Amino acid sequence: MKITTTIIILALVFAAIPGSQVYSQELTATEIIQKATDKVNGKSSIGVMKMTVVRPSWSREVSMKSWSMGDEYYLILITDPVKDKGQTFLKRETDMWNWMPSISKMIKIPPSMMSQSWMGSDFTNDDLVKMNSYVNQYTHQILGEEVVEGLNCYKLELIPKPDAPVVWGKVLAWISKEEFYQLKLEFYDEDDVLINRQESSDIRQFSDRKLPAKMVMTPIDDPGNQTIIEITENDFNVDIKESFFSQQNMKKIR
């Protein structure tokens, strides 16, 4: 009787501990990816950030503002430098457009261009829409656990589903067990060769949640090349409607 009672008490104690092994075993790989996606997106958000493109002999900065609703709708406005100011990028589900005010031209970005550099950085066009594709376009498997940035993380493998419209042949993701921060991502081509590595750090409070404020994308075969994105503001669950994410609004948003 005492043994049975002790077992029940221990089970209740472990179940109440956040991030305990009992809790972690209840989550599937897909649920972990979904929680990490929801953490970054929220129901909606407005953010301000700076992107620094670093090359061995030069660097340049791009400032921008972003709006999102769920993981289907994004709008990004370039606010600096002057030559790029007013340029916008719109994502609706899996479709992307680019409005270039300097030439008054709206460009639809075709699937063949999704692997190309975004704004001359080490991020690709696909990196702007990948959050949704991580959940829907890949199968997910937990490979194990590792420590990243001092936090215990799930290590997951993401493999594209057959005929999925994605760039990468495989993605490895390290997601913290307690807060579901995406702390590291590795991107592999179809031959299983590592191409890019993204590392996140500098966890800060943004609105109602904490998130990494700094993301560094490093191309493996280009020593000295990096792209750094630093988030300075991020408000979540703001009042925003689907109609905001339109080609008409791309031309007038400020």
Classified by CATH at the fold level, domain 2-252 comes out as outer membrane lipoprotein receptor (LolB), chain A (2.50.20)
pTM for the full predicted model: 0.84
- Sequence ranges of the domains in the chain: 2-252
Cα dihedral sign, 45-248-108-103: negative
Cα dihedral sign, 124-126-131-134: negative
Residuewise pLDDT in 10s, the chain (254 residues): 444 443 333 333 333 434 434 344 589 999 999 999 889 888 999 999 999 999 999 999 999 999 999 878 999 999 999 999 999 999 998 789 999 999 999 999 988 888 889 999 999 887 776 555 788 889 999 999 999 999 999 999 999 999 887 888 999 999 999 999 999 999 999 999 999 999 999 999 999 999 999 999 999 999 999 999 999 999 999 999 999 999 999 999 98
For residues 166 and 106, the answer to whether their CB atoms sit within 8 Å is no
**What span, in angstroms and rounded, lies between the C-alpha atoms of 175 and 145?**
9
